[in-house]
A and B are shown apart, each in its own frame.
Chain A
Amino acid sequence: SQQGEEDPQALSIQEGENATMNCSYKTSINNLQWYRQNSGRGLVHLILIRSNEREKHSGRLRVTLDTSKKSSSLLITASRAADTASYFCAKEEDSSYKLIFGSGTRLLVRP
């Protein structure tokens, strides 16, 4: 499959806890992006990390990228019930003009 692998497939945590999602891929990338999708809705871009970057922050989000291991992780700190959604990583290969999405992690944050 072209898609990257994400784990876990599903994650249930208590409000206030941290949530970590992982993404692995097989080929070289130009950049890796993370998106959120609320049930049946469109995707919302969260953060983009380029292949020459190792870590990036945006509010309560922290993304790391390890190109030697071909993996990335998304950390959501101090989670809220509103963070309940599916989270997808997406890689962009050089000059491809397309994103290849992972299988997603379904996050449930219990109040």
Chain B
Amino acid sequence: KAGVTQTPRYLIKTRGQQVTLSCSPISGHRSVSWYQQTPGQGLQFLFEYFSETQRNKGNFPGRFSGRQFSNSRSEMNVSTLELGDSALYLCASSLGQGSGELFFGEGSRLTVL
């Protein structure tokens, strides 16, 4: 069974630009979560989607948004990039039917110059 796939793996943007990151969950998983990891703040929850519905959202500004498609694939978008948005963005999938383990992708490393 293929794991969680995130694209792109690495990207460099400049301040003010916007970026879209993609995540393909494990087949059969209906929940997708996104986390931001930085050296200063650690791992922080961004949002979680299940069957195209956002069930929870972290404390991030409105510049951070996401969505989930009918095939459970998910995208997150960050608009008007700031230097502080440089981070490893991790996507995780799960069956989503209750508490349980998350399966993480390798992440998308975003550098904002």
List the interface of chain A (C-beta within 8 A of B). Answer: 3, 30-31, 33, 35, 40-45, 48, 50, 88, 90, 92, 96-104
- In the bound complex, residues from chain A placing their C-beta under 8 Å from that of B92 are 43
Partner of B107, one of A42, A88, A90, A98: A42
Q: Is the interface of B mostly helix, strand, loop or mixed?
A: strand
Q: Check B104 against A99 for contact (C-beta < 8 Å).
A: no
List the interface of chain B (C-beta within 8 A of A). Answer: 4, 31, 33, 35, 42-45, 48, 50, 55-56, 58, 88, 90, 92, 96, 99-107, 109
- In the bound complex, residues from chain B placing their C-beta under 8 Å from that of A104 are 42-43
Closest B residue, CB atoms, query A30: B99
Q: Check A44 against B104 for contact (C-beta < 8 Å).
A: yes
CB A63 to nearest CB in B, in angstroms, measures 13
